[in-house]
Amino acid sequence: MITIYHNPRCRKSREGLALLEESGEKFEIVKYLEEPINEKELNTIISKLGIKPIDLIRTNESIWKSEYKGKKLTDQQTIKAMVKYPKLIERPIVVNNNKAVIGRPKELILDII
């Protein structure tokens, strides 16, 4: 099953959702600002993405700048920051079984569906 971690207020996330809808594939939507992602799930997603947790952070968000910028965080501390402040998570994230991509640009989604 394909899952998109989606923020409806984000243009890039809406574009990724539209691409999935056009694909005809079945998928589920997780509005992660309303249904927060827990640490275990976030660890799994990051593993499937094949990136470091810091690479999933939206470093231009004001909460990152005010709370974390310039601090040395471990991977787990970075994950805890995303769990506490889901707005920090880059979007959209699309997961299909053991593969995942950040849909920026949206065409990357095509690589896993």
Q: Are 12 and 91 in contact (CB under 8 A)?
A: yes
Cα separation, 110 vs 23, whole angstroms = 9
Q: What are the sequence ranges of the domains in the chain? A: 2-111
Helices (H), the chain: 11-23, 39-49, 62-67, 75-84
- Residue 49 designated active-site: no
Res 52: pLDDT:
98
Between CA 4 and CA 34, with CA 14 as vertex, the angle to 5 degrees is 60
- The catalytic residue among 3, 4, 6, 10 is 10
pLDDT in tens, 20-62: 999 999 999 999 999 999 999 999 999 999 999 999 999 999 9
For the domain spanning 2-111, the CATH number is 3.40.30.10
At residue 69, the pLDDT reads 93
The confidence score (pLDDT) of residue 27 equals 98
pLDDT, tens digit, for every residue of 69-100?
A: 999 999 999 999 999 999 999 999 999 999 99
